[in-house]
Chains A and B, each alone.
Chain A
Amino acid sequence: MSNSEMNISEMLAEQVQRLFSARIDRDTWVHAEDGELDSDLWQEIEAMGITLALSDENAGGAGLNWADSEPVLRLCGVHAAPVPIGETTIAAWALSRAGLEVPEGVLAISGEIFQLDAQGRLQGQDAQLSWLPVAGHVLVAALREGVTHLCLVSADAGRQQAIDTLDRLPCASMELENVIPLQTAEAPFLDELGLRPHLAALRSMQMAGALARVLDLCVEYANTRVQFDKPIGKFQAIQQMVAELASQAAAAQVAGLYAARQVDAGNASYGAAVAKSLVGRAATRAAAIAHQVFGAIGVTDEHSLHYYTRRLWQWRSEGGSEHWWSERIGRKVLAKDGAHLWQQLTAPIGA
């Protein structure tokens, strides 16, 4: 990473942090959970070029790699940003890598694999596509004769049906039948899992951010809530729980960045598997701890904690659950003899 890149990535993270702090609050969340995209906020985001961070410079992007962009994607979780920055950023990255044009507006990405027939028509379905109801376009990975392709379709190209999720953000199922994509290109940088690893990496980074905020909320609350004449943070039982939460949050942060580094090195599936397996389980434990620390107020609608814990519960299932990814790692490990495990763990990133 050169110095100038470092500066761009740090500058971008700072800008995003300022924007989110100023623009995201409870009203923004409530609005989004009513199914609306905050179009003013979205326009500001597009104007700042945030969603093009990963795209090639000749496609108008900043040309950052995934590791450089990790702070921004994590910030989306820190603020529970109710805007599809991550999805749009990844879609734009994949499009520009495949030499395709990046359209304006919200882009959704599917973690499923579709089929592309000899006539160039798409078939397949995704039972749950985040942000589809407010997206202009959807990027899907599709197989044609064993080769992975990327296809861009209009968001209204297929049948869609709104579905309910724990985070209550706009979401729908999508079914494509003989749809001719707007753009298609081979995508040799994707493996047989298509965009699922990238979606899983994104969710891992967002969860790491949400966990950091949950930790922050817990520390603040423990230092102010008084019972038995002292802040509850003085009680060892609370300190021990919060420390455990901190361990989970720290591991999640490292795991999210690890996934990003593996994507950069061309090993997206392994990086995503490691990250999603760990972060999904971290989210489960951490959410339980956080609600315990907050007592009754934490489970009320009025309190902001649930905007984070509901997202954690939602995101741990998206892009492949922690169990799905763990099983995949396990199957790979069991395919070779025991001695191979240590070789795999010590292999350089990308191998």
Chain B
Amino acid sequence: MTSPFSFKPLQLPSSLEPLRLEARAFLAEAAKDWSGWKVGHSWTGFDRDFSREVGKRGWIGMTWPKAYGGHERSGLERYVVVEEMLAVGAPLGAHWFGDRQSGPLLLRLGTEAQRQRFLPLIARGEASFCIGLSEPDSGSDLASLRSRATRVEGGWRLNGRKVWTTNAHLCDFMIGLFRSGGQADTEKHKGLSQFLIDMSASGIEVRPIHDLTGEAHFNEVTFDNVFVPDDMLVGREGDGWAQASGELAFERSQPDRYMSAFPLLPLTIDALREAGTDDRLASRRLGEAVAELAVLREMSLSIVGQLQDGHSPAKEAALVKDLGNLHEQRMPDLVRELLDCPSSIVAADRLSELQAFLVQNVPSFSLRGGTREILRGIIAKGLGLK
């Protein structure tokens, strides 16, 4: 019996250390005044100024061709910068979706004109993208979506409703999946197309949806006869389903799938040291978390390596997201186990604010990007369960 999994190890070469130290130094300075609440948002936090700074340093679109404003650096160099950013909970939201998802999609399937127009903007931290997939009646069953694109002279008219669109109220563009043909009931996977949508177009209305923290990150976006010109179709008409699935592969297994709560740990260690708590329970629980992080990082690096080699380890990526979500969701509870956290939120106390934010936010970690149940279904099928 050979292994049912492919996890060839990838060792980061030491030549990447200068880049790591450069990113670390930049972040140490930038993070000085970040509140615990801000750190908690991490890669969903929207801070255009920060993104511009990151863009100036060449850390967005790192692997893209220079002709499109990229920097022709390796996927491993990008990995190092991304993990350094996540380790401090940097606010990546203004460029992250473009860098991780929309940019690579355009690079792969966009027209030359689309690439020339959008990629340099993303790379400079000037253009933010949101992801328009989910609808009120289409969550896990994404292919059932009903929002329509109808052919008109010179382009398309979009009608319908997207929901849970992270940062739609702040973004410049959306890549939206719409039904351009076929019937939702009978031909689910057929007739879906992806469009590049200018969020300032007339007919688009963005309504905030307040979440349980009291903030409003995601939105309901309604489309009322929104015109999209022909040249804003992404890829091929009718291929949207396959394209969007491929796009999701960029999303799973990256370090943001297990590091969302990482910044809690250093703060917890400092608090334990300060309190002089040197007990066996604390050591054991921390040790478990560190061991998990070390192994998750090896798994995630392996997947980066496999993607670079042209493989698509879908089952492995789903495994890493599932394990990673379990790990990051447990972190705030670990803090409650080890420290005497007050039941109030202590203003200007980083640990307290971060903890408070994460307690309320971790439930979303195993929803966004595909729920745990959907991922486990993918894994089970991948293992040959009939």
CA distance A281 to B287 in the complex (A): 12
Whether, in the assembled complex, A330 has its beta carbon less than 8 Å from a beta carbon of chain B, the answer is yes
| Interface-side segment among A45-53, A172-180, A332-340 | A332-340
Secondary structure type dominating chain B contacts? helix
Whether A246 pairs with B288 at a CB distance below 8 angstroms is no
Chain B residue numbers with a CB within 8 Å of A338 are 265-270, 273
Whether B291 pairs with A274 at a CB distance below 8 angstroms is yes
Secondary structure type dominating chain A contacts? helix
Whether, in the assembled complex, B198 has its beta carbon less than 8 Å from a beta carbon of chain A, the answer is no
Whether A222 pairs with B385 at a CB distance below 8 angstroms is yes
| Interface-side segment among A105-113, A115-123, A124-132, A321-329 | A321-329
CB proximity to B under 8 Å, residues A221-277: 222-223, 231, 233-234, 236, 238-240, 242-244, 246-247, 249-251, 253-255, 257-258, 261, 273-275, 277
- Known contacts A254-B302, A323-B284, A348 near B269 by CB under 8 Å: no
Q: Indicate the member of A247, A281, A331 with the most B CB atoms within 10 Å.
A: A247
- Known contacts A253-B7, A334-B272, A337-B270, A246 near B283 by CB under 8 Å: no
Chain B residue numbers with a CB within 8 Å of A59 are none
Chain A residue numbers with a CB within 8 Å of B291 are 255, 273-275, 277-278, 325-326, 329
Q: Which A residue's beta carbon lies closest to that of B80?
A: A346
CA distance A275 to B290 in the complex (A): 11
Chain B residue numbers with a CB within 8 Å of A249 are 4-5
Chain A residue numbers with a CB within 8 Å of B373 are 236, 240
Whether, in the assembled complex, B319 has its beta carbon less than 8 Å from a beta carbon of chain A, the answer is yes
Whether B272 pairs with A327 at a CB distance below 8 angstroms is no
| Interface-side segment among A161-169, A190-198, A208-216 | A208-216
User: Which listed residue (A67, A240, A274, A341) contacts B380, Cβ 8 A?
Assistant: A240
CA distance A144 to B278 in the complex (A): 31
CB proximity to A under 8 Å, residues B299-318: 299, 302, 316
Q: Which A residue's beta carbon lies closest to that of B266?
A: A338
Q: Which B residue's beta carbon lies closest to that of A331?
A: B283
| Interface-side segment among B9-17, B57-65, B123-131, B157-165 | B9-17
Whether A325 pairs with B5 at a CB distance below 8 angstroms is no
Tell me the smallest distance from the CB of B124 to a CB of chain A, in Å: 28
- Known contacts A274-B290, A329-B287, A254 near B270 by CB under 8 Å: no
Whether, in the assembled complex, B83 has its beta carbon less than 8 Å from a beta carbon of chain A, the answer is yes
Number of B interface residues in the complex (CB < 8 A): 55
Chain B residue numbers with a CB within 8 Å of A236 are 373, 377
Whether, in the assembled complex, A304 has its beta carbon less than 8 Å from a beta carbon of chain B, the answer is no
CA distance A239 to B287 in the complex (A): 31
Chain B residue numbers with a CB within 8 Å of A281 are 288
- Known contacts A215-B4, A326-B283, A242 near B14 by CB under 8 Å: no
- Known contacts A326-B288, A338-B267, A348-B14, A233 near B7 by CB under 8 Å: no
- Known contacts A222-B385, A243-B377, A254-B299, A330 near B266 by CB under 8 Å: no
Category for how many chain A residues contact B: 35 or more
Q: Which B residue's beta carbon lies closest to that of A78?
A: B1
- Known contacts A240-B380, A257-B9, A333 near B280 by CB under 8 Å: no
Whether B383 pairs with A326 at a CB distance below 8 angstroms is no
Tell me the smallest distance from the CB of A255 to a CB of chain B, in Å: 5
Chain B residue numbers with a CB within 8 Å of A238 are 385
Whether B1 pairs with A216 at a CB distance below 8 angstroms is yes
Chain B residue numbers with a CB within 8 Å of A234 are 385-386
- Kindly supply a per-residue 1/0 record for chain A positions 149-170, scoring 1 wherever the CB is within 8 Å of any chain B CB and 0 otherwise: 0000000000000000000000
Whether, in the assembled complex, B200 has its beta carbon less than 8 Å from a beta carbon of chain A, the answer is no
Whether B83 pairs with A346 at a CB distance below 8 angstroms is yes
Whether B14 pairs with A250 at a CB distance below 8 angstroms is no
Whether B299 pairs with A250 at a CB distance below 8 angstroms is yes
Whether A254 pairs with B7 at a CB distance below 8 angstroms is yes
Whether B266 pairs with A342 at a CB distance below 8 angstroms is yes
Whether, in the assembled complex, A345 has its beta carbon less than 8 Å from a beta carbon of chain B, the answer is yes
Whether A247 pairs with B294 at a CB distance below 8 angstroms is no
Tell me the smallest distance from the CB of A67 to a CB of chain B, in Å: 8
Whether B376 pairs with A243 at a CB distance below 8 angstroms is yes
CA distance A329 to B284 in the complex (A): 8
Whether A244 pairs with B287 at a CB distance below 8 angstroms is no
Whether A334 pairs with B385 at a CB distance below 8 angstroms is no
CA distance A329 to B265 in the complex (A): 14
CB proximity to B under 8 Å, residues A278-303: 278, 281
Whether, in the assembled complex, A17 has its beta carbon less than 8 Å from a beta carbon of chain B, the answer is yes
Whether, in the assembled complex, A219 has its beta carbon less than 8 Å from a beta carbon of chain B, the answer is yes
Whether B273 pairs with A223 at a CB distance below 8 angstroms is no
Chain B residue numbers with a CB within 8 Å of A185 are none
Whether A348 pairs with B283 at a CB distance below 8 angstroms is no
User: Which listed residue (A212, A243, A341) contacts B266, Cβ 8 A?
Assistant: A341
16 A-B interface contacts by CB (under 8 A): A74-B3, A216-B4, A236-B373, A239-B380, A240-B377, A242-B380, A251-B299, A273-B291, A274-B294, A277-B287, A278-B295, A329-B287, A329-B290, A330-B284, A331-B283, A337-B266
8 further A-B contacts with Cβ under 8 Å, apart from A213-B1, A258-B295, are: A212-B3, A247-B322, A253-B7, A278-B295, A326-B283, A330-B288, A338-B266, A345-B297
By a beta-carbon cutoff of 8 Å, the part of chain B in contact with chain A is: 1, 3-5, 7, 9, 11-12, 14, 20, 83, 87, 262, 265-270, 272-273, 278, 280, 282-288, 290-299, 302, 316, 319, 322-323, 373, 375-377, 379-380, 383-386
By a beta-carbon cutoff of 8 Å, the part of chain A in contact with chain B is: 17, 67, 74, 78, 212-213, 215-216, 219, 222-223, 231, 233-234, 236, 238-240, 242-244, 246-247, 249-251, 253-255, 257-258, 261, 273-275, 277-278, 281, 322-323, 325-331, 333-334, 337-339, 341-342, 344-346, 348-349
